[in-house]
Structure 1
């Protein structure tokens, strides 16, 4: 594998609302344009998140699902990368089964308009009165390390 280096970066151009559920092998993200209109949904298949002192940690599982903003259609993304990860052994048979179940679960939620695809969550926005979050003191993004 390679090495990773963290760096300070500010998300720009659109708004992103993310939905994580404990134990799930995917997260759901709603991308909005600068005016707040939905652009598309993105289902990222990944290891279940783990809480850390600065947020959450997870590991991408290569395959993704892109869903139309009105939930009317979807397409799979990066299946070639997923197949390559399988060949390399990054996704073993047990993890492959878990990803398969996660795919079915995500499609079930989409088709039934439940979970993150239901109710008021897709229209939720952050309160303008909330302050932007900042990483805790001692977090060194340039060095890719968290001071203990």
Structure 2
């Protein structure tokens, strides 16, 4: 599926679709002028939750619109282990 998405992005073709986030809770930090965002993915763990991994997402700066905001993923990601060892 990711390969299909990359091909569509490279060709300048994509469609918006409704979707629901699944599998984890997400804390996202995206400075408005930055070319990156930092994400923290948390998963259930007993009565609480634990950090599954961190993620740095390279992307265009946020562009505010009438209905929210837009950005464009540059497809370069860094996945960071919770203990920062890799």
Using the size of structure 2 for normalisation, the TM-score is 0.74
**CA RMSD, Structure 1 to Structure 2 (Å):** 1.5
Kindly state the Cα deviation for residue 28 of structure 1 after the two structures are TM-superposed: 0.4
How far apart in 2 are the matches of 1:37 and 1:8?
Answer: 28
Match of 2:82 in 1: 69
1:24 aligns with 34
- Uncovered stretches (5+) of structure 2, i.e. residues with no partner: 1-10
Structure 1 gap segments, 5+ residues each: 75-148
Instruction: Report the structure number with the largest CA radius of gyration.
Output: 1
Map 1:1-148 → 2, pairs under 5 A:
1-35=11-45, 36-70=49-83, 72-74=84-86
Counterpart CA distance in 2 for 1:2 and 1:51 is: 21
- Within 2, Cα distance between the matches of 1:73 and 1:4? 36
More helix by share: 1
TM-score by length of 1: 0.45
The runs of at least 4 aligned residues of structure 1 exceeding 4 Å deviation read none
Pairwise CA distance, 1:62: 2.1
